[in-house]
Chain A
């Protein structure tokens, strides 16, 4: 099977940067994704990165991919209380229909 791992919790102060980390095991990953889940709701795609890229920036979000170490991170600049949610990393493999999610990192932003 495919293992995608994340730390369970992260707590930051409003205005600080948040860095959420993820590791995966399958080197045949094609795309890697970050999803956000607000309480009691489904998931929404935040951003994604193709596996041959090192970095992708999208407004306050920066995704870094270290393919050698199979490590993915999401940096949120100027974190706001509205960013409090669970963040999931996910990978899709050569079969684009298959998706594997991490356990999710609960981000708590303190005012």
Chain B
């Protein structure tokens, strides 16, 4: 069976500090990978998606970047966090099929102070 892990589960960081959130998927190969942000009281915003190693598509211009160094590893980074980066970050994966069911990780709660 497939599982998706995210860490850390919670993170409190000062403004201007760097960020690295990690997501890994087990039990499948060549998944599509996604990073979403869920700000308080708002819906999910697609940040990045990746269809393969080293292939990253960005949905919105922002203070964040993503990388996929391995097939089942997806990393969300920032060089300098802003207050507006606070939120709940969700990683998801899907198979490359027409019905694109997405499987979500448990999320990382990021608070920037």
Interface positions of A (Cβ within 8 A of B): 4, 6, 8, 30-31, 33, 35, 40-45, 48, 88, 90, 92, 96-104
Q: Chain B 42-64, CB within 8 Å of chain A: the 1/0 string?
A: 11111001010000010100000
Residues of B within 8 A of A100 (CB): 46
Q: Quick check: B34 and A104 within 8 Å, CB to CB?
A: no
Choose the segment among B13-21, B71-79, B97-105 that binds chain A (4+ C-beta atoms closer than 8 Å).
B97-105
Residues of B within 8 A of A4 (CB): 43
* A97 touching B43 in the complex, CB below 8 Å, given contacts A43-B102, A45-B101: no
B24 within 8 A of A: no
Interface size on B, residues (CB 8 A): 27
CA distance A44 to B44 in the complex (A): 13
Within the complex, the shortest CB–CB distance from B84 to chain A, in Å, comes to: 17
| Interface CB pairs A-B, < 8 A, 27 | A6-B43, A8-B41, A30-B98, A31-B98, A31-B100, A35-B102, A41-B106, A42-B92, A42-B106, A42-B107, A43-B44, A43-B92, A44-B104, A45-B101, A88-B44, A96-B96, A96-B97, A97-B49, A97-B51, A97-B96, A98-B46, A98-B49, A99-B100, A99-B102, A101-B46, A102-B43, A103-B43
Q: Which residues of B contact A35 (CB under 8 A)?
A: 102
Secondary structure of the A contact surface, majority rule: strand
Nearest B residue to A101, CB-CB: B44
- Give, as a whole number of angstroms, the nearest-CB distance from B6 to chain A: 9
Name the residue of chain A whose CB is nearest to the CB of B109: A40
Determine how close the nearest CB of chain B comes to the CB of A33; give it in whole angstroms.
8
- Within 8 Å by CB of A92, from B90, B100, B104, B106, lies B100
